[in-house]
Every structure is written in C-alpha cells, then in structure tokens.
Amino acid sequence: MTYLFWAFAAVWVGIFLYLYALTRRSQALAREVHALRERLEKTAPPSPSAAGRSRAGGP
C-alpha cells in the first residue's frame, strides 16, 4: 500500500535529514578546531613543549 510506503519513507527521510544536519555541525566543529590549532601554533613557539611552557607562563 502506498500509504505504508510513504510513512516509512517519511521516517527515514526525516532521520536522514537530521543526521545530515548533525554531520554538518560536526564538520564545522572540525574546521574550527583546525583553525584554533593553527592559531595556537602561530602565537606560540613551534615545538610542543615550548608551547606548553609559554601557555603556563602566560597571564
């Protein structure tokens, strides 16, 4: 029956759309983390331990 199909189709489409929206948010997050990491590497000295020390020595 077509109604049965459309009901199940609606359920899967709805879920898929939400999962897609979540994935996009997750990707935006990944981009931001990447940008933050780049900014950190610019303002702090390149070596990881030095970066740790300069952060601790900050205000």
Binding residues for other proteins, rule: CB under 8 A, are 1, 3-4, 6-8, 10-11, 14-15, 18, 22, 25-26, 29, 32-33, 36, 39-40, 42-43, 58
Least CB distance from residue 59 to other proteins, whole Å? 8
Least CB distance from residue 49 to other proteins, whole Å? 19
Residue 23 DSSP class: H
Q: Which token pair is 29?
A: 């997050």
Q: Cα(22)–Cα(16) distance, rounded to whole angstroms?
A: 10
Q: What one-letter code names the amino acid at 54?
A: S
Least CB distance from residue 50 to other proteins, whole Å? 16
